[in-house]
Structures are given as structure tokens and as C-alpha cells.
Amino acid sequence: MNSKPATAFLLVLAFALPAPAGEPAPDRYAAVQASADGIGKVYLGREIARVMSFHGAEWLERPERVEEERPELLLSALELKPGMTVADIGAGTGYYSWRMAQRVGAGGTVYAVDIQPEMIRLLEQQMSKRGAANVKALLGTPTDPGLPPAGIDLALMVDVYHELEYPYEMLAAIVRALKPGGRLVFVEFRAGDAAVPIKALHTMTDAQVRKEAAVHALEWVKTASDLPWQNAVVFRKP
């Protein structure tokens, strides 16, 4: 398995997106000297990573991703059922969106959210090519995915959360969109694992994910650590 393309794109094709007009609480984030892979903004002890731009879309669809991430293993862990309404936050080209769409079926809906218009266009092209008619593309903002309130059974973020410029605000908006009992799944590259060829700032520990989720109305359910490179940390809205 050749992991060099993954590392190269995370090193080179990463850019910070502009801040939204409405500034959040000034004491929520701390400013520091930006590291090579960060934006110089710290939340709960973690510097936020730069965002991969749409120029890195080819990496999202790389053939070796099947071996590197084992998407079918993750999808099984999500326990998706026909008729569900789910959200793929930071969907990119829709790599997971159309796979989720197959599992929720024609009676279900997948909201595929991204904040880059160029990525939304690429996603729509992919969904059209794959005939995924039950995937709805949504252009969100850095603080709000634009999902229907209390309308989502499950929200998924794959290698996305660590790049959110406004993690508190975005997570609060996602929680509002979950139904009571709805689940939120963070999939993040494992920090501190030498076998994971990803820049440190683009990884997270299970403990850090749980620390940041604990600020919101979320209950930890489980952490699935059997994926090759990632942890899937599952929470439920009471």
C-alpha cells in the first residue's frame, strides 16, 4: 500500500477558509502563532488544522482509499436502515454520501453538506454519475450546515471535524439538527499511531474528540477503533 499520495495532498492542498460575518464569543478561541499545518486558532487545547480545498478532490476518490479506510467496515458500524434521514457533513465529492444513500434506500435521504461551492459542483457530478437521486447537496457555512431542525437520524463527519474553523458553533448547529436519540459520528485519523501516515494536526485522539463533544448535549455511545487508520467515535443526542 502506498500512503505517499495521502500525505502529499494533506501537506500541500490545504487552505483556511474565511471567517463568517457573525463572530462567536471572543473567549471561546485563543490565537497562537500558526503552525505549518494550522490556522493559528486554538480550541480546548487543540490548534485547528487548515482545510483541504477542492483542489484536493482527486485524493478523496483515490482507489487505494478502500484499503486505507475500509469504508464498508465503517458503514456497517453506522447501522443505517432504509428510510433514514442522514447527513454527510464535509461531504467533499460524496465518497460516503452515495454509499450511505444505498443503505437508506429510495425512501431515505442523505444531506451532503460542504462549504465550498466548487466541491458541491463536483459532488453533484458524482451523484449524477452514480444515480444517487436521494442525495441532496447543501452549501453550508463555517458555522451552520443548514440542516432541517430535529430532522436528522444520523450525522457523519469523516476526517472533517479537526478542520472546522468554528467547531463549537458548527457542532451546536449539528446537534440542533439531530432528532432526539439521533447519533453523531466523528471519524478521525488516530493521533499518536505511527502506522497512520497523516500529519499530526490532521489527527485526533479519542479523548480530545470526547472532550470537545462533552461541551454539547451529546452522550458518548462507543468508540470503534477497528478501522485501519481511524477511530469512529459515536455520540447520541438525549
What is the pLDDT tens value at each position of the chain, 238 positions in all? 444 444 433 333 333 333 443 455 668 999 999 999 999 999 999 999 999 777 677 878 888 999 889 999 999 999 999 999 999 999 999 999 999 999 999 999 999 999 999 999 999 999 999 999 999 999 999 999 999 999 999 999 999 999 999 999 999 999 999 999 999 999 999 999 999 999 999 999 999 999 999 999 999 999 999 999 999 999 999 9
Rounded CA-CA distance 161/157 in Å is 6
* DSSP symbols for 212-229: HHTTSS-EEEEEE--SSS
Rounded CA-CA distance 104/87 in Å is 11
Cell numbers standing for residue 7: 500525505
Helix residue ranges, H only, the chain: 4-12, 57-60, 65-69, 71-78, 97-104, 117-130, 167-177, 206-213
pTM score over 0.85: yes
Strand partners, 233: 186, 223
The CATH classification of domain 4-236, taken from the options 3.40.50.300, 3.40.50.1980, 3.40.50.150, 3.30.300.90: 3.40.50.150
Q: Which of 59, 57, 33, 37 is nearest to 49 (CA)?
A: 37
Cell numbers standing for residue 176: 440542533
Rounded CA-CA distance 62/72 in Å is 16
